[in-house]
Amino acid sequence: MPIRLPRRTRLQLAGRLQLLVLGALVAAVPARADHGPAKLAALTNRPSQAPVTPRALAPRLDGSLPPGRLPAPDEVLTYRPDPALRRRNFDIFVDRLRAHDAGAADNLDRLLTDNDVIGAARDWLKPYGMRPENVADAMAVYLSTAWGAVRGSEADPAPEVMRGLSDQLAAAIGATPGFTRASDAEKQELAESMIVQAVIISRHASAARDRPDLQRRVSEAVARGAQATFGVDLTALDLTADGLR
């Protein structure tokens, strides 16, 4: 399952299960993982000031955009990363969660402080010829991880599938007016929120392995999160070499 962190890193699930949905402005609600139906939390970072959010791509991610459409140019898709901005973004993610669940926020803070999450994403993406500084690639990490978690799968996507998803996202970005106005800072915030969310989903999906009831709740929460963030129903779409279809 995308993106693997060292085995010593634990994402504690005791008592509650928190999932982040970064990109859609919804309220966080603490949830019990082991008692009754889980109300898995949905959380965003600060409302993005970028001219395009992931949900703006929804009309072009339902399989209606023909395969092979030219992607947006590299200068639209990529950004020059700023380490100071990354730390600020991570702090915002943690602070937003802290307003609803201090324990979960501390857990996330440790995860982001003790691990080079973006470096882990870079290592995982490298064999695909992709990188975290490309917004389409970062979105592909999130969507492929979410698609697998919805189905209880921890398998890595095939190279042609991962590249096809990134190409679909790049074409959708290129066909969505306004994205060219996004600054490097705005693109970095969006890309890093996608990667952090993918890590969180991956860790919870792994923790739910061999626990069918918890796996079902994780699957449902991830599907709701993808719907809120991208406006797509991952339960109804296949992940193919042409992207989501």
64 pLDDT tier (thresholds 50, 70, 90)? low
pLDDT of residue 239: 96
Contacts of residue 96, defined as CB under 8 A and 6 or more positions apart, other chains included, come to 28, 43, 44, 45, 46
Distance between CA atoms of residues 114 and 106, nearest Å: 12
- Residue 77: C-alpha distances to residues 27, 35, 198 (Å): 29, 43, 19
Is it the case that residue 223 has pLDDT exceeding 70? Answer: yes
Extents of the domains making up the chain? 54-244
Is it the case that residue 144 has pLDDT exceeding 80? Answer: yes
Between 70 and 140, name the one with better pLDDT.
140
Query: The dihedral of CA 25, 150, 94, 49: what is its sign?
Result: negative
pTM of the model: 0.84
Task: State pLDDT tens for residues 18-51.
Answer: 444 333 322 232 333 332 223 333 443 333 444 5
Cβ atoms of residues 157 and 165 within 8 Å = yes
Unique residue bearing structure tokens 């008692």: 35
Task: State pLDDT tens for residues 124-134.
Answer: 999 999 999 99
Task: State pLDDT tens for residues 78-89.
Answer: 999 999 999 999
Distance between CA atoms of residues 232 and 143, nearest Å: 10
pLDDT of residue 175: 84
Report for 55-69, 89-103, 151-165: range of highest mean pLDDT: 151-165
Gyration radius (Cα) of the chain, Å: 17
72 pLDDT tier (thresholds 50, 70, 90)? confident
Distance between CA atoms of residues 76 and 86, nearest Å: 19
Is it the case that residue 182 has pLDDT exceeding 70? Answer: yes
Integer distance in angstroms from the first to the last C-alpha of the chain? 21
Is it the case that residue 76 has pLDDT exceeding 60? Answer: yes
> What would the 3-class secondary structure string for 134-181 be?
EHHHHHHHHHHHHHHHHCCCCCCCCHHHHHHHHHHHHHHHHCCCCHHH
Return mean pLDDT, the chain: 80
Q: Which contacts (CB < 8 Å, 24+ apart) does range 158-163 have?
A: 158/241, 159/127, 159/128, 160/241, 161/239, 161/240, 161/241, 162/128, 162/130, 163/128, 163/129, 163/130, 163/241
Is it the case that residue 62 has pLDDT exceeding 80? Answer: no
pLDDT of residue 52: 60
pLDDT of residue 35: 29
